[in-house]
């Protein structure tokens, strides 16, 4: 059974994230959406809330599991007995950052490979950071996120 792990903070999960998961679910037997924390990012929503929203947004895809992780990704991969990491690429800047992560992960766990997917063109400009910025100014984020996420962002701001 081929399992791929799609890690991120999903702060919040966007339509771009959903697009990648839907396409990955057609390629792999199992997709694990691993919702994590980051020492470099402040979370708008709690880890539990982000996991709950990911489960709601992705619930229509039968071969997707959503879970939280609070350790090194390579350790989580070993716990999941997974050898493939899925990452999304929108821009050249994303690639530079992701390339650094690939190098670090190869040193920490040489048995793990990273695969990249680009979102559909009409999602390529969406980022969680921009969605949070729009929401912070009480802007309408409904065209960038699932309705449940938009509602949660209105409640937590």
Among candidate residues 50, 87, 128, 132, the one labeled active-site is 128
Cβ(82)–Cβ(4) under 8 Å?
yes
90 is annotated as an active-site residue: yes
Write the Ramachandran bin of 45: left for phi over 0, alpha for psi from -120 to 50, otherwise beta. Answer: beta
Among candidate residues 38, 41, 122, 154, the one labeled active-site is 41
Q: What is the distance between the alpha carbons of residues 108 and 17, in angstroms, rounded to a whole number?
A: 26
44 is annotated as an active-site residue: no
> Which residue, among 37, 81, 32, has the nearest Cα to 61 in the 3D structure?
32
128 is annotated as an active-site residue: yes
42 is annotated as an active-site residue: no
Q: Which residues of 99-126 are buried (b: 16+ CB within 10 A; e: fewer)?
A: eeeeeebeeebeebebeebbbeeebbeb
Among candidate residues 23, 78, 83, 90, the one labeled active-site is 90
DSSP 40: S
Among candidate residues 17, 44, 50, 87, the one labeled active-site is 17
| Positions marked catalytic | 17, 41, 90, 128
């Amino acid at each position: 059974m081929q399992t791929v792990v799609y890690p991120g903070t999903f702060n919040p999960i966007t339509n771009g994230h959903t697009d990648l998961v839907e396409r990955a679910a057609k390629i792999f037997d199992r997709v694990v959406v691993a919702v994590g924390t980051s020492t470099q990012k402040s979370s708008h929503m709690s880890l539990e809330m982000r996991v709950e929203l990911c489960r709601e947004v992705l619930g229509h895809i039968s071969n997707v599991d959503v879970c939280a992780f609070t350790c090194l990704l390579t350790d989580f991969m070993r716990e999941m007995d997974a050898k493939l990491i899925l990452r999304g690429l929108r821009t050249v800047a994303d690639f530079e950052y992701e390339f650094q992560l690939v190098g670090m992960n190869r040193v920490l766990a040489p048995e793990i490979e990273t695969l990249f997917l680009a979102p559909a063109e009409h999602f390529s400009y969406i980022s969680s950071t921009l969605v949070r910025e729009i929401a912070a100014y009480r802007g309408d984020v409904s065209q960038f996120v699932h309705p449940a996420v938009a509602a949660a962002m209105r409640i937590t701001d």
